[in-house]
């Protein structure tokens, strides 16, 4: 006897059989920024969340996708409780609007974007329906921030390289810098978008510049890859307190050093954004990249 998911999937497939292919170009789509790191514990998700809020305060319409493989925690970091996630949209049991959460300062949060891994295995009608919903999401936002998993797993690379820009988060810790270089090496390919470093938990701006300088020099010498410097975030007790309270530090401690740094980072990323790589949907690019790698 078919389960509920199978029945709902059949209903959606029947309803969407007449759908045309999603458009590959349009008058507007969100600029996509992938936030990634070489190792866990460097504050990647915290930076993605607080930067999204800072960008919203600068007048941008922002959507934040939690694409961490396994257990994502963006909803927990900002005090949200969402039962449904993007994997339910991929299976056809929920629509995209059912899983979008209203976050702080008007941002939208989508948990479980790692469910997109299953996209290429879905029936074609379900793929078209999901891509239509995703294209509507991109058209209705200025910026789409994708919080990827850590490391150099193939799926993580696909989430990152499908974006218009990659922000690679590291810290002054030696192992973190080594993993950041390994990530740059894994991403360094002709189709890699612009890659910029964010140094978290620093004691000073000069320390951050020195770290980025070493990564830039090594990457240029051995990988022939130029990388940028997006900014830094200070080591700040308010960040730890914010995580414990499930309240982003740019909301709960607006004048703390880390919040000041995040707002500077958001302004720099927005102003240095440049043009879109293509008008093709981020989700369509991700799907195509996964199919090529299969």
Secondary structure tally for the chain: helices H, strands E: 13, 8
- The whole-angstrom separation of Cα 194 and Cα 186 is 14
DSSP 281: -
Determine the Cα–Cα distance for residues 220 and 1; give it in Å rounded to an integer: 59
**Max Cα separation, the chain?**
65
Write out the chain's pLDDT in tens, 294 residues.
Answer: 455 555 445 544 544 444 445 444 456 889 999 999 999 999 999 999 999 999 999 999 999 999 887 667 888 899 888 788 888 887 778 888 899 999 999 999 998 777 777 766 677 777 788 888 888 999 999 999 999 989 888 889 999 999 999 999 999 999 999 999 999 999 998 889 999 999 999 999 999 999 999 999 999 999 999 999 999 999 999 999 999 999 999 999 999 999 999 999 999 999 998 778 887 889 888 877 766 655
Find out whether 19 and 132 touch, Cβ atoms under 8 Å. Answer: yes
What are 280's two structure tokens? 């093709």
Backbone φ and ψ for 18, nearest 5 degrees, come out as -90, 0
Among 3.80.10.10, 3.90.1300.10, 3.40.50.2020, 3.40.50.300, name the CATH number for the domain at 29-284.
3.40.50.300
DSSP for 230-256 reads: EEEEE--HHHHHHHHHTS-HHHH-TTS
| Two tokens, residue 180 | 């950041």
Residue the block writes with tokens 């005090």: 79
CB distance 137 to 64 below 8 Å: no
Strand partners of residue 200: 233
- pLDDT, position 11: 45
3-state DSSP percent of the chain in helix, strand and coil, to 5: 50, 15, 35
Contact 248, 50 (CB under 8 A): yes
Predicted confidence at residue 14, as pLDDT, reads: 45
Question: What's the pLDDT score for residue 28?
Answer: 80
Please count the other Cβ atoms lying within 10 Å of the Cβ belonging to residue 27.
6
- What pLDDT, on the 0 to 100 scale, is given for residue 17? 47
**Closest Cα to residue 54, out of 265, 195, 247, 271?**
265
Report the predicted TM-score, pTM, of the whole model to 2 decimal places.
0.89
Other CB atoms within 10 A of residue 189 CB: 9
Domain-by-domain residue ranges, the chain? 29-284
């Amino acid at each position: 006897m078919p389960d509920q998911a199978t029945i709902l999937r059949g209903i959606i497939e029947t309803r969407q059989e007449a759908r045309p292919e999603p458009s590959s170009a349009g008058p507007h789509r969100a600029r996509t920024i992938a936030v990634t790191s070489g190792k866990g514990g460097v504050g990647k998700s915290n930076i993605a969340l607080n930067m999204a809020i800072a960008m919203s305060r600068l007048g941008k319409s922002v959507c934040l996708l939690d694409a961490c493989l396994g257990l994502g925690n963006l909803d927990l970091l900002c005090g949200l409780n969402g039962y449904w996630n993007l994997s339910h949209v991929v299976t056809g049991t929920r629509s995209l609007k059912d899983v979008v959460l209203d976050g702080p300062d008007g941002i939208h949060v989508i948990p479980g974007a790692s469910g997109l891994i299953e996209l290429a295995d879905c029936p074609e009608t379900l793929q078209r329906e999901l891509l239509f919903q995703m294209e509507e999401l991109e058209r209705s936002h200025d910026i789409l921030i994708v919080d990827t998993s850590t490391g150099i797993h193939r799926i993580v690379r696909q989430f990152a390289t499908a974006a218009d820009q990659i922000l690679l988060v590291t810290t002054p810790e030696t192992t973190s810098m080594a993993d950041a270089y390994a990530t740059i090496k894994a991403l360094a390919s002709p189709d890699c978008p612009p890659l910029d470093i964010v140094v978290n938990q620093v004691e000073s701006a000069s320390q951050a510049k020195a770290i980025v300088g070493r990564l830039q020099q090594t990457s240029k010498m051995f990988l022939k890859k130029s990388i940028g410097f997006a900014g830094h975030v200070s080591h700040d007790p308010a960040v730890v307190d914010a995580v414990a309270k499930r309240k982003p530090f740019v909301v709960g401690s607006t004048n703390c050093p880390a919040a000041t740094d995040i707002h500077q980072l958001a302004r720099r990323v927005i102003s240095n954004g440049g043009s879109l790589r293509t008008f093709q949907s981020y989700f369509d690019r991700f799907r195509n990249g996964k199919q090529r790698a299969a």
